[in-house]
Amino acid sequence: MVHTAKKQRRLDLSVRAAPLRRFAADDFHASDEDGKPTSRRDEIAQDILERLWSALPIARLCDEVGHRGIKHVIQTASASHSQIVQWHSELRQFIDDLLSVVTVIENNQIVEPSAFRPWLFDAAKNECGLKSVSPLPPRSFVDAHFADLLPEIALERAKQELERHCSQIVTTLFNVLDALQRHRRIGSVTFGDAACQFTFFTREVRISDRQDSRVTKRRLDPAHTNRWVKAYFEDDVRQTRLTVQHRDIARTHYVFDFTLNCLNKTRFPVPGRYQAFCEAVPDWIRPSLRILEGDLFREQCVASDAREDQFLEEVVVSTSWTRCPAIMLGPYVLAGWGNEAIESEEESHRVMNAVADRNRSIHRAALTSLASKCIAVSAIVCALMSAVLGATAAVIAIVLTTLAMHLAGMSARDRHGFTDTSLVLHEMARVGTSTFAAQAFIFGLLTMSWPLSLVGGVLALIAHRLSQQSKETTA
């Protein structure tokens, strides 16, 4: 029998691949050349295995003809191993996404803590035994011994190692699917000539009660504890306790005139929840996905209570130290005090520091206010000198007025703090309108412009009103 190169590689990969566990007997629906049934599961596994291998840089290097240096082999093998590690990460994410899509959380208007969903899916993995069937990514085989090999031997070893890693990924994938199927998280399908039946499962999770509390936990401080003295931490802990009810729903659909369609060739629109899941499936799995569509003529639904859990989240809000100093004279303890006295003293120091900071702010506000008034007077003087200096004095007057407004805002900020921004803007507007009103009067008199004098009068009224409001606010 003559095989093509692609067929020969398919056989080689099948020999080196680890044995895959099989589906149920009713999954056999095709025949090989000898008339024996073949498993659709094994066909999909082989397709994924070939897809993984062809995506590795080492596969392209094996197909190249010509001299290959050891440096090139090392670089290609390292890049291929990095791709293997990336596929392991994608596989773990695929498991999380699969558990998420078959789980429906009904919180009944109860806010979920941030750690609830990771806890829920970790519990599902433990329940299905996925911790034991999901190995960690392999360690790199590219080391000093590998670099000492001849290029041909190094390439052959890299090929063997990477084929084994690809097979391990596929084996892990189907072992995970088997475990999920055994624990009724994913279903199965049975095909007939014109009809089929398939079962799928949904895990409904309902948060029935939430209790929030604050507790104080005491723990030993090893850094400051010895055989004579024991020091402790006191943690202020916020606890969130949820009562979680799990419910399994098994649905069996009987369908005739069914078709298996690719993701982009479905007869009916796919709901957004499942469309997002299909798009998140890794690229090396997605081509094997199919959407089963047909006409439903019978449906069965069985619901059962699985269990009830208690979820507890603890967040440390603050940590304090339990301190117990004493005054000693040799072996005599003259006086002692507890942690409460230290906290009271620290509070007194905080109050004194706050008062001192406040006094410094008030003093700084007074100096800034005085500087603002001096600059405002200088701006008015520049307006008087505009008759001699012309436009230059007018520009200087406007710049000085703007600076006076800025200093007035800084003074109000230091006086009132950062509690209210409107007070700062109010003080800046008061100083600005007062100074601009005086300048408008002066410019109006010098140029005999009654409209300009009228503008000065309007600004003066606004400044007077702002001054009254400022006095009322201060009072």
- pLDDT over threshold 60, residue 37: no
pLDDT of residue 431: 82
> CA–CA separation, 125 vs 37, rounded Å?
33
Q: What local confidence, expressed as pLDDT, does residue 13 receive? A: 38
* Residue 439's pLDDT band (cuts 50, 70, 90): confident
Most confident of 62-71, 118-127, 154-163, 274-283: 274-283
Distance (Å, whole) CA 69 – CA 54: 22
Cα–chain center distance at 48 = 31
Mean pLDDT of 159-186: 91
Six token digits for residue 146: 């590998």
Q: In this predicted model, what pLDDT tens digit does every residue of 308-366 receive, in sequence order?
A: 888 887 787 777 666 667 777 877 877 877 667 777 887 898 899 988 888 888 888 88
Look at residues 60, 22, 43 and name the one whose alpha carbon lies nearest to residue 162: 60
Contact 430, 411 (CB under 8 A): no
| Contacts within 8 Å (CB) and 24+ apart, 406-413 | 407/368, 407/369, 407/371, 407/372, 407/375, 408/368, 408/369, 408/372, 408/432, 410/365, 410/368, 411/365, 411/366, 411/368, 411/369, 411/372, 412/365, 413/365
Question: 58: closest CA among 159, 160, 138, 153?
Answer: 159
- Under a CB-based contact definition with an 8 Å cutoff, are residues 295 and 256 in contact? yes
How remote is the C-alpha of 150 from its chain's centroid? 46
**What per-residue confidence (pLDDT) applies to 474?**
61
Provide the pLDDT confidence category of residue 236 given band limits of 50, 70 and 90. confident
Residues in the chain: 475
Whether residue 148 is predicted with pLDDT greater than 70 in this model: the reply is yes
Q: Which of 164-178, 266-280, 416-430 has the lowest mean pLDDT?
A: 416-430
Measured distance CA(185)–CA(444) in Å, rounded = 87
Per-residue model confidence (pLDDT) at position 174: 92
Per-residue pLDDT, averaged over 395-418, amounts to 82
Inform me whether the pLDDT recorded for 175 exceeds 50: yes
pLDDT band at 226 (very low <50, low <70, confident <90, very high): low
Distance CA(94)–CA(169), nearest Å, equals: 12
Of residues 12 and 435, more confidence is placed in 435
% of the chain beyond a pLDDT of 70: 83
Chain-wide mean pLDDT for the chain? 79
Quick one: what percent of the chain has pLDDT higher than 90?
19
Tokens standing for 165? Answer: 């890693």
Q: How confident is the model at residue 471 (pLDDT cuts 50, 70, 90)?
A: low
pLDDT band at 31 (very low <50, low <70, confident <90, very high): very low
Environment class of 64 (CB within 10 Å of its CB; exposed 0-12, middle 13-18, buried 19+): exposed
pLDDT of residue 201: 93
In the structure, what pLDDT confidence band is assigned to residue 17 with cuts at 50, 70 and 90?
very low
String of b and e for 299-326 (b: at least 16 CB within 10 Å)?
eeeeeeeeeeeebebeeeeeeeeeeeee
pLDDT at 286: 92
> What is 52-101 written as a DSSP string?
HHHHSHHHHHHH--S---HHHHHHHHHHHHHHHHHHHHHHHHHHHHHHHH
Range picked from 33-42, 381-390, 396-405 for highest mean pLDDT: 396-405
d(CA 410, CA 426): 12
Domain definitions of the chain by residue range: 5-182, 188-337, 342-474
Report pLDDT for 145: 81
Say if residue 9's pLDDT is above 60.
Answer: no
Is the pLDDT at 65 greater than 60? The verdict is no
